Amino acid sequence: MRRAVAVLAVTWAIVGVASAARLEPATDFELLDARSAGEATSQVQSRDAFTQHVPGLTTEQLSAFALGDHVFRTPWIEAPASVAAFDGLGPFFSNRSCSGCHLRDGRGHPPDGPDDATRSLVAKLGVPDSSGRTRPDARYGHHLSERAVRGLAPEGRLVVQWEDVEYVYPSGERIALRRPRIEVAAAAYGPLEAGVKISARIAPAVIGSGLLEAVPDSALVALADPTDADADGISGRVHWLDAREHGAASQQRVLGRFGWKATQRSVAAQVSTALADDIGITTPARPELEFTSAQRDARRRPHGGEPELEGANLAALIDYCRMLAVPARRDVDDPAVRRGAERFRDAGCTSCHVATLTTGDMPVTAMSRQMIHPYSDLLLHDMGPGLSDGLPEGDAQPSEWRTPPLWGLGRASVVSGYLFLLHDGRARSFEEAILWHDGEARPSREAFRALPAESRGDLIRFLESL
């Protein structure tokens, strides 16, 4: 990875915090900046820490946020219904509302075991071919939904079994990790294809989406180093998406930045995709739901409009996601947090979990030209075979994942009442998540592994302060 020095230098000029001469090196300050998102930081630390809008909205922006908040929480119902605005659920769906998976705009959770129902985890399907591309399953398509409207059988049920994997520290200390084995039961249209791969994904938090969207493409391209030209072992690369498939006519390719594999170019695209795949709601960007030839019964089901969500309600939902603030950090002057920040930096975590990005010009003042600390480069990295889901997606290989932003993670358990990390929610703690790092992140994991227990605890205290 190329160093982010140039980006940081610009940051100081824009924000103008004190004078550069009085500050210690940038990394020290940025890792201990309580303002996670500059002016767009919220002070609320309670269960509602993720539900706050960025400060200083105009009356119109506040109205859009409030309307979007409602759309986010409104449970969709089956068509036809007397409530015309929000009917058209399904016919296949994972949940009835956005908040059904992103409770209080927070993260989802995997099932506890084979008998537990999934509510905030979705399953992607695909059959990889010899060229490294993926085609949809012939009977079920790209996606398996576990719920369906009345009178229609759900596509199937995900059965998640957890297998223990023991991990041993150099000191002899042992920790039990777990990984999922996922099968489909009660498959309604016959068996899935023999070579199908099933990739389970939990819902990520929605906070700060608009800020991540506001980081210029050029800043992310500058962080990428696809051929590892600087030979530091980190070769983050942009997930370039085919422009024609992603609704951008003027360019050859567009930069993907949202989703576990960076398959979505914008908040609007992410919202439309989730509405279609997870709730069964069509929008102008996704006017058709996906049905295979085996699913004629589902295709014939009544819909709630063409499309089912558009206009002011859809625009407000997208703006709502964009305007969600990021909570301020806590305990940044705690000595353990300071030591942990140093460990985090020294272990090389900030090579991918880039501490500071800068937003461009935005219509919302508090989000415009802000120094933000998402702890992500939004790039794809090879995370090794342990985290591979076997499923190539777009240009992303099975073991490649987008660096997930870490901001707000220290509040996630307060917001949701639980904490599950990594794409399939296998990690039950920060420690487990770190120990799953491999591939490009292997040296960082090894650095963590080699630390004395007390220093590992400091590093986790640092993560808890985010």
Partner 1 sequence: MRVARLALSLAACAVTCSYAAAATPGRANEAVASAVRGHAQLAQRAYRDAVAGLHELEAEVQEFLAEPSRTSLEAARAAWIQCRDAYGRTEAFRFSGGPIDDIHPLTGVQGPEGRINAWPIDEAYLDYVAGEPKSGLISDRKVPIAESTLVSRNASADETQVTLGYHAIEFLLWGQDRSRDGPGNRPYSDYLRGDPVRDRRRECLRLQVQLLLRDVTYVADQWTPAAGRYVNVFLGLPSAEALGRALSGPATLAAFELASERIGIPLSTGMQEHEQSCFSDNTHRDIASGVESLALVLEGDGSTTGLLSALNDAYATEIRDRLARALQLAYTIAPPFDAIITSSEDDPRRRALQALSGELLGLAGAIQRAGEAARVKVVVGGGG
Q: Using CB under 8 A, pick the residue from 2, 10, 48, 413 that binds partner 1.
A: 48
DSSP class of residue 21 equals: G
Question: Nearest distance from residue 105's CB to partner 1, in Å?
Answer: 8
Question: Nearest distance from residue 8's CB to partner 1, in Å?
Answer: 14
Cβ–Cβ < 8 Å for 291, 90: no
Looking at beta carbons only, is 69 or 278 nearer to partner 1? 69
Sequential DSSP letters for 64-93: HHHHHHHHHHPPPBPSS-S-GGGB---SEE
Q: Three-class SS of residue 313?
A: helix
CA 99 – CA 189 distance, rounded (Å): 29
Q: Which stretch binds partner 1 (CB under 8 A): 52-60, 177-185, 302-310, 443-451?
A: 52-60
Question: Nearest distance from residue 341's CB to partner 1, in Å?
Answer: 7
Rounded to the nearest angstrom, the gap between the alpha carbon of residue 91 and the centroid of all alpha carbons in its chain is 25
Q: Using CB under 8 A, pick the residue from 2, 47, 179, 449 that binds partner 1.
A: 47
Nearest to 298 by CA among 126, 149, 141, 81: 149
Question: Nearest distance from residue 89's CB to partner 1, in Å?
Answer: 13
CA 443 – CA 453 distance, rounded (Å): 18
Rg of the chain over Cα atoms, rounded to whole angstroms, equals: 22
Tell me: does residue 368 bind partner 1 (CB under 8 A). Answer: no
Looking at beta carbons only, is 257 or 329 nearer to partner 1? 329
- Give the CA count within 13 Å in the CB-facing half-sphere of 84: 4
Tell me: does residue 22 bind partner 1 (CB under 8 A). Answer: yes
CA 297 – CA 15 distance, rounded (Å): 57
Buried b / exposed e over 118-145, threshold 16 CB at 10 Å, is bbbbbbbbbbbeeeeebebbebbbbbbb
Q: Which 259-298 positions form the footprint of partner 1 (CB under 8 A)?
A: none
User: DSSP alpha helices (H): ranges in 95-173?
Assistant: 98-101
Q: How many CB atoms lie within 10 A of CB 151?
A: 9
User: DSSP alpha helices (H): ranges in 158-248?
Assistant: 209-213, 217-223
Q: Using CB under 8 A, pick the residue from 35, 286, 322, 437 that binds partner 1.
A: 35
- Tokens read off for 445: 């994991």
Which positions from 116 to 155 touch partner 1 by CB under 8 A, shown as an x/- string?
---xx-----------------------------------
Question: Nearest distance from residue 247's CB to partner 1, in Å?
Answer: 27
Tell me: does residue 51 bind partner 1 (CB under 8 A). Answer: yes
Q: Which stretch binds partner 1 (CB under 8 A): 97-105, 130-138, 261-269, 299-307?
A: 97-105
Nearest to 381 by CA among 414, 423, 346, 344: 423
Q: Which stretch binds partner 1 (CB under 8 A): 26-34, 123-131, 268-276, 447-455?
A: 26-34
Tell me: does residue 453 bind partner 1 (CB under 8 A). Answer: no
Which positions from 309 to 338 touch partner 1 by CB under 8 A, shown as an x/- string?
---xx----------x---xxx-xx----x
Q: Which stretch binds partner 1 (CB under 8 A): 38-46, 235-243, 436-444, 445-453?
A: 38-46
Q: Three-class SS of residue 130?
A: coil
Looking at beta carbons only, is 236 or 340 nearer to partner 1? 340
Query: Footprint of partner 1 on this chain (CB under 8 A)?
Result: 17-18, 22-25, 28-29, 32-35, 41-48, 51-53, 55, 57, 59, 62-63, 65-67, 69-70, 73-75, 83, 85-86, 95-97, 99-100, 103-105, 119-120, 312-313, 324, 328-330, 332-333, 338-339, 341-342, 414, 417
